[in-house]
Structure 1
């Protein structure tokens, strides 16, 4: 979808849009920032540290299998020189027994290593996912308004899955083949120094493709992950707005647009695969070319009697082992480059600092119940519009227990007031207090425990009706959930559902009508039993009869509670204790309904548009 579909009445998301905190930077920018370093993987070491015993055990198994693998070369020498050439059946049997023993050790060590390393990969990536998700919950809503959900989900799922493969497989292969390379190289030098020099002559040639193609693979890996995120974001948005897509008959357009996103991701992946293939091919060419040269020289020395066939066999075995290790390392190097790109994306997400300061310790001076709100000369502008004030010298006192309604044209700043009350933003200047305490001194969680919001477009989860109502108080009993539903006039339609309160509602409560979703949201707020109610035109989606019953329930709920109401329909707030008329972030009038009809031209005009139809 080319753009998000937002409600025309929703102010805050539009006002709050800002690109200053975008995490989706280009791969070129990220590589410049990180200097094309694999060391970014070390930033994930805190997740591995708690399992150091498992890591040590895996490394021990790794050393065991690597050492046993190197011992096979000695078994080959014995097999050829004493078994085949010597013609001794007894020594042949001993060499075979020795070989079988080594293979058994390798099998046992491989089992231990594979299990421990795979377990470690799964465990660490599970911890990373938990850490990232926990951190996301601390970020203010503005972060999610300015960063695509598909991009965030790609980092939480795809990138962690990639790291899981690296930690649980590729990293183990890298360590194992590094040990094999070092041990095999040492055995080559001990077996025949001259032939070893021929094999080592390929090392400088191997480093060239590693340096040339490795950096490019990492850049393309980062870009590939970004394109996958783009593709997921597009598909998710189209599916989310499927009714709009189908009602406007744009299925073919969306098919072509999504196909374009898929092709863009494929093109980047194809480049990445090409460079990795070139890297592996170059390494194999140089390594096994050097082995071929070594075989010619070694074969000549055997014919000349300068070395035994067993020595040449053992040397060939070690040479092939070293060559295979180098080839595998070159392939793993490409995987590590790709993992570095994924690690960068995750580290960026973890390092995003919340803009709303939090207090770890609750403020014990907050009175119970906390009901009085006071706005003192507030000034606030959204990050994307620093020169345009959303609230301008806004002052308002809301005594405990009163119902105050905010009215005014779209963009007047009504939703901004709600945003500041819940500390989704902090004001640039002025003070907002709850029972005399500045909201900046309260942690967001402690503050919001005293509030309940019923939005214009209620958010329901893919779960049962009971769970959605109980979201206001997860410890509530079944009887309390039913009582809240009855108070919101939702019990009857809930009982008519196939499984009653245990009916699964589907994504975003798709099985319910707009009015039914609204009443479930009201029941959720009733169950929370808050000190302060925030109602964003809470009855807007109801028919006349339901509105009457729910308004009666709300009137009962509002007793002895401070209530702040955003109202577009003036008929719902005529009995409010105070009606605040807003325009361009300022209070232009306030009073009772009858008073404002006489004193406020703006309110009178709004009333005439609605009541004189």
Structure 2
């Protein structure tokens, strides 16, 4: 526990860090606090009504006084009910609104983070923070926090009323308060540590389940269902064990608080009963005192219970703030430069060297220099791991090189606005990426303001219109997660339609036709040929037959450019290209020349 104490002291301070989100709604907050104070004051006033009912009604045998007192108490109860309605509505609204703002802020931050962050952190855990942790905060802000404030106000007010009613008995109650607070503070530290661990283990469970569900075909094809069930059971068991420890600590804290609080009340009633019998105080005063003492006991017990929830909330806030504190390694510069209109070269890579963060000792690109003219079609070929896809990621600024620079229209792309840079390009990846929505939305993702007619035209240009029209709701057909309801070739054509609609200046094609059958490939290749007219195109190709007619073929190996030229030249002068060609063309070197 030596290292948990400073964490515990800082734990509840994490709750203060959501103040910027709460302070946006100061009017609602003030009204909610007023309603809270109002209902607490009425609750305290009920104690005086009980005293009057006993002393002036029951003991005085006055029906009129009893009726007046009970009528007064009914008015108080009605006012308390109205105040409770206002308090509950405003506080709950505030909780929902603040959590929605936090969730939006976290998501807005996430979509701008550098891609390598998501390679180093599991998507399931990030999603858990965005959903589970924010849901926990909603229950805390919307109910528990209000209940805790109400309990604190009630306890303070009840203690004041106790002192006014009988100072001697109040000393007994005050002596018990520190005894009650000790377990709250001591055990609360352990609860917070366990609360953070519990949230982490729940995130692990979600991440594991999400990965298995996403890869369900692989799991079933290898008949690994039983193994995964056992492995998931281990994850669930670990989460349950941590939750069980947290629940046990909270249970110990609550039972200890109740024992001490009501033990003090029993002692107080015993002392007060003797004073009533001795004529030192009235029965009404004792009844009112017991009422206030019970309020103190329940208030302290409520605070102890809510403290556990607040400790969990502190853990959730800590996890969310960790996400918000992550700074993207890829950002637009403070001073943005404009691109020149008529450069000599459209794209230039000058001595670019790049290592992935996960592999800092191995070059993905090494002193790579490449000049690409505007409107030129350049094919990138080479063995796997040569750096072709990495080159695309550098151009899109998913990563920045450690050395060298990339120029677009004679301007370093690190000096350009990030969104403007990426809007200049359209990527058609080897593995098509679709969203869990309809066809229209997926194609329009390339240009959200496009009309329906423009979407249809893009689909026709990608030779996707025919099969889309055959879907149950045509362009409004839901495609499922990552387009699971389409074949590989159909998904690729939808992605190509998205790129066509985007109408970029630079096309990045990563084996864009690899998932198509021969007929579809022929049709889409015609569409791509038309699309590539008068725009710069880079094509990653593993099948050399698809790029023989490119303006230039660049041969890459181990992150370097080892040769470039046209097909016939490379067959004659590049041993690596010749070997690749011999492996792919069945009739030997003479035929490929």
| TM-score band, normalised by shorter chain | over 0.9
8 Å CA contact 1:302, 1:308 repeated in 2: yes
Structure 1 CA distance, aligned partners of 2:331 and 2:272? 71
Give the TM-score of the pair, scaled to structure 1.
Answer: 0.94
The alignment covers a number of residue pairs equal to 587
Other-structure match for 2:142: 168
Residues 161, 369 of structure 1: alpha-carbon distance in 2 compared, 3 angstrom cutoff? farther
8 Å CA contact 1:453, 1:535 repeated in 2: yes
Residues 366, 458 of structure 1: alpha-carbon distance in 2 compared, 3 angstrom cutoff? farther
Structure 2 CA distance, aligned partners of 1:460 and 1:223? 35
Other-structure match for 2:519: 545
Distance apart, 1:500 and its partner CA: 1.2
8 Å CA contact 2:366, 2:559 repeated in 1: yes
8 Å CA contact 2:8, 2:192 repeated in 1: no
Structure 2 CA distance, aligned partners of 1:139 and 1:33? 28
How well do the aligned residues superpose, as a CA RMSD in angstroms? Answer: 1.7
Q: Could you tell which deviates more after superposition, 490-499 or 129-138? A: 490-499
Structure 2 CA distance, aligned partners of 1:222 and 1:206? 25
8 Å CA contact 1:360, 1:443 repeated in 2: no
Other-structure match for 2:507: 533
Structure 1 CA distance, aligned partners of 2:376 and 2:420? 22
8 Å CA contact 1:382, 1:390 repeated in 2: yes
Other-structure match for 1:83: 57
Gap runs ≥5 in structure 1 = 1-26
Distance apart, 1:431 and its partner CA: 1.1
Q: 4+ residue runs of structure 1 moved beyond 2 angstroms? A: 27-37, 359-371
Structure 2 CA distance, aligned partners of 1:364 and 1:492? 42
Of 125, 139, 151, 1:177 maps to 151
Structure 2 CA distance, aligned partners of 1:368 and 1:531? 14
Is 1:347 aligned to residue 321 of structure 2?
yes
Distance apart, 1:563 and its partner CA: 0.5
Of 282, 285, 305, 2:279 maps to 305
Other-structure match for 1:389: 363
8 Å CA contact 2:406, 2:413 repeated in 1: yes
Q: How does 1:234-245 map to 2 (within 5 A)?
A: 234-245=208-219
Of 518, 532, 535, 2:492 maps to 518
Residues 110, 278 of structure 1: alpha-carbon distance in 2 compared, 3 angstrom cutoff? same
Other-structure match for 1:472: 446
8 Å CA contact 1:371, 1:562 repeated in 2: no
Structure 2 CA distance, aligned partners of 1:544 and 1:371? 35
Q: Secondary structure at the match of 1:489?
A: coil
Of 455, 458, 468, 2:432 maps to 458
Structure 2 CA distance, aligned partners of 1:46 and 1:522? 44
Q: How does 1:415-454 map to 2 (within 5 A)?
A: 415-454=389-428
Residues 451, 337 of structure 1: alpha-carbon distance in 2 compared, 3 angstrom cutoff? same
Is 1:358 aligned to residue 332 of structure 2?
yes
Is 1:277 aligned to residue 251 of structure 2?
yes
Q: Secondary structure at the match of 1:201?
A: helix
Of 97, 102, 108, 1:128 maps to 102
Distance apart, 1:32 and its partner CA: 6.0
Q: Secondary structure at the match of 2:406?
A: strand
Distance apart, 1:36 and its partner CA: 4.0
Give the TM-score of the pair, scaled to structure 2.
Answer: 0.97
8 Å CA contact 2:11, 2:315 repeated in 1: no
Other-structure match for 1:24: none
* Cα shift readout 1:276-316 (whole Å, capped 9, x = no counterpart): 11110000000100000001010011111111101100100
Is 1:505 aligned to residue 482 of structure 2?
no
Structure 1 CA distance, aligned partners of 2:426 and 2:444? 13
* Cα shift readout 1:396-446 (whole Å, capped 9, x = no counterpart): 000000011111111111111011000001111111010111101112211
Gap runs ≥5 in structure 2 = 588-593
Residues 29, 348 of structure 1: alpha-carbon distance in 2 compared, 3 angstrom cutoff? farther
8 Å CA contact 2:11, 2:192 repeated in 1: no
